[in-house]
Structure 1
Amino acid sequence: MEPFWRFVVSPNRALLRHPAGWIATGFGSGFAPKASGTVGSLAALLPWWFLRELPPWAYLAVCAGFFALSVWAAQWVIDQIRVDDPGLVVADEWVGLWLTLFLLPDGLHWIAIGFAVFRFFDILKPWPVSWADQKLHGGFGSMLDDALAGVYGWLTVSALVALSSRGL
C-alpha cells in the first residue's frame, strides 16, 4: 500500500525538510490536493483541543506567538516557491480558527458552528479582511487576513452564544 504522501502532488514536499515548511503548511495539512484551507482548518482542531484548556491570557499568548512564528514560516515558503499567499500555507487558517473558537463553550455543535463561521468569513472576506488580502503581501499579509476573519468569527460566535444563553 502506497503511503499517503506519495499521492500528494508536488515537488513542494521538499519544503518539509525545513521547520518553516512544517509550520507554514500546518504540519503537512496544507498539502491536501483539494480544499487545503478547509483541511488545514480541520487539522487546527487537534492542537486547539489542548489549547482550549489554557487560561484566556495564555490562549491568546499562544495565538500571538504562533501568528508571529507563522509570519516567518509563511515568508520562508513564499520565498522558496515564489508564489504570494500559496494555498499550501495553512498556518493562517490555524490562527484564524483558534481566534474564532476563543472562549467557546463546551459542545460539539459549538465547534461545528465556529468552524463553519470561520470558513464563511475566510472565504467571503468582508472589509477589512479583503483589504488585508489584497493590499498586504508576504508572510504578514498571508497571515493577517485570516486572523481578521478569525476576529469576525469570534464576534459572531460570541453573539450566537449570548443569544443561545438567553433562550433566543
Structure 2
Amino acid sequence: MTDSLQPAAEPIPHSVWSNPWHNLAFGFGSGTLPKAPGTWGSLVALAFVPLWQMLPGWGYGALIVASMLFGIWLCGKVAQDLGMHDHEGIVWDEFAGIWITFWLVPAGWYWLLLGFVVFRLLDILKPWPISWVDRQVHGGLGIMLDDILAGFAACGVMHIAVRLLG
C-alpha cells in the first residue's frame, strides 16, 4: 500500500464503523484518518508492541504468524467487500509489518521510535523486491506481502542496530 501525505482519494466506507471485519482491517478506524493512513495505522499498531514484547520469543513469533495469516484472509475479504484492491484505508498490513519489525528487539522507547521510522521508510519507499511484490501479487496476499517483507527487512535493520548501538 502506498502511503502519502495527500488526503485520502478513496471515500471511507461507512461499514468501517458497523462491520467488525472492516473495523479491524481499517485499524480500529486509524485508516480513516485523512492524511497518511498507513502511518496512523502503524502508530496504533505500535501501541501493542510493548505488550507483545512481554511474550516469550516463540509466543511473539506465533502472534506474528497468526496476524499474517489472519491478515491475508481479512484484507482479501474486506477488499472484495469494498470492490477494490487495497483501499488505502486498509491498514492491517501495517499492523503485521510493525509487529514483525520488533520481534526479538529489546524493549525501550528509543527502539520503538527507530523501528517505527525504519519500517515506515521501507514501506513507503518500497525498495526491490518489495516494490516488485507490491506490483505483481494481488488479493489478500498482495495487500499483506509488501508490508510483511518491509517488516522483516526492518526487523533485520533493528537487530543490526541493537548489536551496534545496544
TM-score, normalized by length of structure 1?
Answer: 0.88
Higher relative contact order (CA 8 A, sep 6+): 2
Q: What aligned pairs does 1:1-168 form with structure 2 within 5 A after superposition?
A: 10=11, 12-165=13-166
Distance 1:117 1:55 in 2: 24
Aligned amino acid, residue 109 of structure 2:
L
Cα deviation for residue 155 of structure 1 reads 0.6
Moved over 3 A (4+): 8-11
Cα shift readout 1:53-73 (whole Å, capped 9, x = no counterpart)? 101111011111111111111
Distance 2:16 2:32 in 1: 11
Q: How many positions carry a matched residue from both structures?
A: 158
Aligned amino acid, residue 70 of structure 2:
L
Distance 1:11 1:96 in 2: 23
Distance 1:92 1:76 in 2: 13
Larger Rg: 1
TM-score, normalized by length of structure 2?
Answer: 0.89
Distance 1:99 1:116 in 2: 14
User: Any stretches of 5+ residues in structure 2 without a counterpart?
Assistant: 1-7
User: Any stretches of 5+ residues in structure 1 without a counterpart?
Assistant: 1-7
- Structure 2 match to 1:4: none
Distance 2:119 2:13 in 1: 27
